[in-house]
Amino acid sequence: MNLKNRLLFTLTEKIILRNKRFKGIHNGESCYLFGNAKSLKYYDLSLFNDRVSIGCNNLYLHKDFSKIGVKYYYRGAPFTHYPFHSNPYSNNKLEKNTNGSYSYKKSFFHENKDTNFFIDVSDYFSLRGKNIFYTHHFGQQFSDFSNCSVDGVFNANQNALAGMIGLAIYLGFKDLTLIGCDHLLNPKASEHFFEYGRIDQKHTPSVINEQVLNSAQKFLKLRVVSPNDSYKGHIIPHVYYSELTGKEPEYKENYEIISDDNLNILRSMNYLYSITESEFRKNNE
Q: Give the DSSP letter string of the chain.
A: --HHHHHHHHHHHHHHGGGGGGTTTTTT-EEEEE--BGGGGGS-GGGG-SSEEEEETTGGGSTTHHHH-EEEEEE--TT-SSSEEEEGGGTTEEEE-HIIIIIT-HHHHHH-TTSEEEEEGGGTTT---TTEEEE--TTPPP--GGG--TTS-----SSHHHHHHHHHHHHT-SEEEEES-GGGEESB--SBTTSSS----B--S--TTHHHHHHHTTTSEEEEEESSTT-EESSS-EEEHHHHHSS------HHHHS-HHHHHHHHHT-S----SHHHHHHHT-
pLDDT at residue 73 in the model = 97
pLDDT at residue 2 in the model = 87
pLDDT at residue 234 in the model = 87
Structural domains of the chain sorted by starting position, each given as residue range(s) with its CATH number in brackets:
3-283 (3.90.1480)
Per-residue pLDDT of the chain (285 residues; tens, 9 = 90+): 788 888 998 999 999 999 999 999 999 999 999 999 999 999 999 999 999 999 999 999 999 999 998 999 999 988 887 766 676 666 666 667 766 544 456 678 878 889 999 999 999 998 899 999 999 999 999 999 998 999 999 999 989 999 999 999 999 999 999 999 999 999 998 899 999 999 998 877 777 789 999 999 999 999 999 999 999 998 999 999 999 999 999 999 999 999 998 898 888 887 889 999 999 998 887
